[in-house]
């Protein structure tokens, strides 16, 4: 796919930084330029967490061992069951994001994300949610993914789904490689609402004419920022809020709600667990005791 892309980084009056990346080629001028739709990714657009499937793809390519992946899954399960979504855990999640991508080249992340999307993520896209997104596109509206994943990974997913682009966590890049530092905050909770508001100001959107979709009560700020909020495959807390506020509810699961426990979507879960596996992999590469056949990312 083309490597040229529009990437925007914006800082608001409070010093918060966000970024978004449009897919290429850019879509034609929309007949409804003031409206857009914003879709959360994990358990909203796809079954499970995108960072988990990305980690599985890396394990399959021997970037770390299956034992590391098992620890990754256990950490996700533990965070989900304990519902540890408070400030301390989000601080750990931010550190995890740094560990996960430090030293990797942007082109390698994008290449691997493309491969892993086709292999593991595409079969797990919720058909119903994809149909909702297509409805907005057919109406001439732009459609953006909003994810805690690095914005480059979000852009790959958006490109594969023929969407407008993605809003995601911005990682600092120097000479084409990630430094291990974030630019701004992890794209989670209230930060998503701030990012959507910032993008709307730049793109000339009227948020009262926009829609937002999510499965998690963590995204209540984003859902509340737009004129139409839709709970998709909602967790218990979001379902309760949706009923109280009269929001539309769409559930594309087939009765196996345990899937949200098996492959959770919380930002803290995916990113903190990602740090565990990534840290192990980095240690092995530095010590030279990589698993047989491991392919080291180009640095």
Residue 46 dihedral angles phi and psi, to the nearest 5° = -135, 155
Distance, in Å, from the CA atom of 42 to the CA atom of 52, rounded to the nearest integer, reads 10
130 Cβ contact list (under 8 Å, min separation 6): 45, 161
3-state SS, residue 176: coil
User: Is 235 among the residues known to form the active site?
Assistant: no
Encoded tokens for 275:
């740090």
Distance, in Å, from the CA atom of 141 to the CA atom of 164, rounded to the nearest integer, reads 9
Distance, in Å, from the CA atom of 237 to the CA atom of 4, rounded to the nearest integer, reads 40
Catalytic residue (choose from 42, 68, 89, 235): 42
User: Is 42 among the residues known to form the active site?
Assistant: yes
Catalytic residue (choose from 40, 89, 215, 235): 40
3-state SS, residue 137: helix
264 Cβ contact list (under 8 Å, min separation 6): 43, 48, 49, 76, 77, 79, 80, 270
- Give the single-character DSSP code of 249: E
Distance, in Å, from the CA atom of 139 to the CA atom of 133, rounded to the nearest integer, reads 10
Q: Give catalytic residues, as residue numbers.
A: 40, 42
């Amino acid at each position: 796919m083309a490597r040229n892309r529009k990437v925007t980084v914006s800082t608001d009056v409070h010093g918060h930084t966000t970024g978004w990346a449009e897919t290429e080629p850019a879509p034609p001028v929309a007949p409804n330029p003031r409206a857009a739709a914003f879709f959360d990714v994990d358990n909203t657009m796809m079954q499970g967490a995108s960072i988990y499937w990305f980690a599985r793809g890396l394990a399959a390519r021997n970037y770390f061992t299956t034992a590391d992946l098992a620890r990754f899954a256990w950490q996700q399960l533990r965070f989900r069951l304990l519902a540890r979504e408070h400030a301390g855990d989000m601080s750990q999640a931010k550190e995890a994001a740094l560990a996960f991508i430090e030293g990797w080249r942007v082109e390698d992340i994008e290449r691997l994300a493309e491969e892993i999307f086709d292999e593991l993520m595409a079969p797990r896209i919720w058909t119903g949610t994809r149909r909702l997104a297509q409805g907005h596109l057919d109406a001439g509206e732009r459609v953006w993914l909003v994810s805690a994943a690095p914005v480059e990974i979000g852009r790959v997913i958006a490109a594969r789904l023929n969407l407008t682009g993605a809003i995601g966590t911005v990682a600092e890049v120097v000479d084409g490689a990630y430094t291990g530092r974030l630019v701004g905050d992890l794209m989670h909770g209230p930060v998503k609402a701030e990012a959507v508001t910032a993008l709307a100001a730049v793109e000339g959107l009227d948020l009262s004419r926009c829609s937002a979709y999510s499965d998690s009560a963590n995204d209540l700020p984003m859902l509340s920022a737009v004129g139409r909020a839709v709970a998709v495959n909602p967790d218990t807390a979001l379902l309760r809020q949706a009923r109280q506020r009269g929001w539309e509810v769409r559930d594309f699961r087939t009765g196996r709600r345990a899937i949200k426990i098996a492959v959770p979507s919380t930002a803290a879960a995916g990113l903190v667990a990602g740090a565990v596996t990534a840290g192990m992999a980095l240690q092995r590469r530095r010590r030279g005791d990589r698993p047989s056949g491991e392919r080291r990312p180009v640095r």
